Structure 1
Amino acid sequence: MQFLARRDEHAVEEMDRTDCDPVRLENTYRQFRLVNAAVSGWQLTWARLVRPVLSTSRPTTLLDVGSGAGDIPRAFVRWAARDGFALHVTAIDPDERAHAYLRSLPPLPGLTVRRAHTADLVAEGARYDVVTSNHLLHHLDAGQLDGLLRDSAALAGRLAVHSDIARTRLGYALFSAGTLPLPGSFIRADGLTSIRRSYRPDELRAAVPAGWRVESQIPFRNLLVRRG
């Protein structure tokens, strides 16, 4: 797997193509919940980083950026309710197809869905206690990454956590084998492309400005963290 020695920032995921198969795209959105539950590590990230900044005396606000199929922000709402916290989550995605899928899901009290960029919210003067994203960083070019981090610093009052894949040979091999039972979607092909596009911890440290800390977390995660 010598091709994993360097980040392949020019590889393109099929679901990012505007002319991709809409049926396979819909299936991909549906399967994200299963894949993220297995590999995203958000239950650990929630317990270790997000839950400690939630308040029992006032509602907490959280912005989830690039929410895709919406399974992660919806999980945040459920976990907060389970843990006894009042949390309002705003899930944004600029892609009209992802936004349409998000809007098609059953309404969930405590969750607001918007089609927007982080720059739109900065322009509105919006502020949130927490800003998160899942599997977003590897999609961005250098300018877009700088913009996301600048906007996140402006929007997050207490904490920003961007969780993404860490590129490893073992992770690539396990994902390739583990997603074989998920036909009819872009999950396997795009997931492998995502790993090729993703950062190693040292590469991510070199790519981000001061004030952001790169943490490693199982399984095969980079966490980019900034505290307000």
Structure 2
Amino acid sequence: MAFLASRNLTAIEEMDKPDCDPAKLDRTYAQFPLVNRSVAGWHRTWAHYIRPVLSTARTNTLLDVGSGGGDVPRALARWAARDGFRLEITAIDPDERANAFASSRPRTPGLRYRRAFSSELVAEGAQFDVVTSNHVLHHLSPDELSGLLSDSEKLGTRLALHSDLSRTRVGFALFSVATLPLPGSYIREDGLTSIRRSYLADELRAVVPPGWRVERQVPFRNLLVRRA
């Protein structure tokens, strides 16, 4: 798999195209919870990183950037309620299709969706205890990555976490096989494109500013961490 030797910055995910099939797009959003539960490891990230910085004495706040279909912030809201934390989550995505799908899901207490860029919240002077994102970094150009990290530093008063795929041959092969039973969506083809676009840990370390730490997660993931 020589094509994985370096990041493929020209490959475009189908669901990012404005003229993609809306039915397939909605099925993709609907299948994200299954895929993220299998590969994204957010419950471990909640337990090891987010939960320890939250307060039991007040309402905590979290911003999820590029929330897509909203399954990750919904899961975070459930875990917070289960563990006895008051947590208000704002989930933002600039894509009106993602915002419409997420808003159509059954209401989750403490969670609100908004169509917005992180830079808009910076301009408003908003701040949150924690900033998160899932599978966003590989979508971004170098300038967009720099902007997101700068915004995260301004928005997150305690912790910022950006979780993404790591580009590996084994991960590519396993994902290709594991997603064969998920027809009728963009999960498989876009997931493989995402892996091709994603960073190795050392590549990500080379482009992030001081104050950010890249940690490897199992399986085949990078977690970009900043503690304020």
TM-score range (shorter-chain normalised) is over 0.9
TM-score of the superposition, structure 1-length normalised?
0.99
| Long gaps (5+) in structure 1 | none
Q: Which residue of 1 aligns with 2:165?
A: 165
Which ranges of 4 or more aligned residues in structure 1 deviate by more than 6 Å? none
Per-residue CA shift, 1:169-213, capped at 9, x if unaligned?
100000000000000000000000000000000000011111110
| Long gaps (5+) in structure 2 | none
Per-residue CA shift, 1:151-179, capped at 9, x if unaligned?
00000000000000011110000000000
Q: Does 1:129 align with 2:136?
A: no
Q: Does 1:149 align with 2:186?
A: no
Q: Which residue of 2 aligns with 1:80?
A: 80
Q: Which residue of 2 aligns with 1:25?
A: 25
Per-residue CA shift, 1:59-108, capped at 9, x if unaligned?
11000000001000000000001111111100000001001101111111
Count of residue correspondences? 228
Choose 142-151 or 100-109, whichever is displaced more.
100-109
Aligned pairs for 1:47-62 (under 5 A) are 47-62=47-62
Q: Which residue of 2 aligns with 1:139?
A: 139
Q: Provide the C-alpha distance between the structure 1 equivalents of 2:130 and 2:72, rounded to a whole number of angstroms.
A: 14
How far off is 1:3 after superposition? 0.5
Any idea what SS the aligned residue of 2:129 has? Answer: strand
Letter in 2 for 1:24: K
Aligned pairs for 1:26-45 (under 5 A) are 26-45=26-45
Q: Provide the C-alpha distance between the structure 2 equivalents of 1:135 and 1:207, rounded to a whole number of angstroms.
A: 17
Q: Which residue of 2 aligns with 1:112?
A: 112
Q: Which residue of 2 aligns with 1:193?
A: 193
How far off is 1:10 after superposition? 1.2
Q: Does 1:14 align with 2:40?
A: no
Letter in 2 for 1:79: W
Q: Does 1:89 align with 2:89?
A: yes
Q: Provide the C-alpha distance between the structure 2 equivalents of 1:108 and 1:26, rounded to a whole number of angstroms.
A: 19
Q: Which residue of 1 aligns with 2:98?
A: 98
Q: Provide the C-alpha distance between the structure 2 equivalents of 1:108 and 1:82, rounded to a whole number of angstroms.
A: 13
How far off is 1:112 after superposition? 1.1
Q: Provide the C-alpha distance between the structure 2 equivalents of 1:27 and 1:108, rounded to a whole number of angstroms.
A: 20
* Cα RMSD (Å): 0.5
Letter in 2 for 1:147: G
How many percent identity over aligned positions? 68
Any idea what SS the aligned residue of 2:206 has? Answer: helix
Q: Does 1:215 align with 2:210?
A: no
TM-score of the superposition, structure 2-length normalised?
0.99
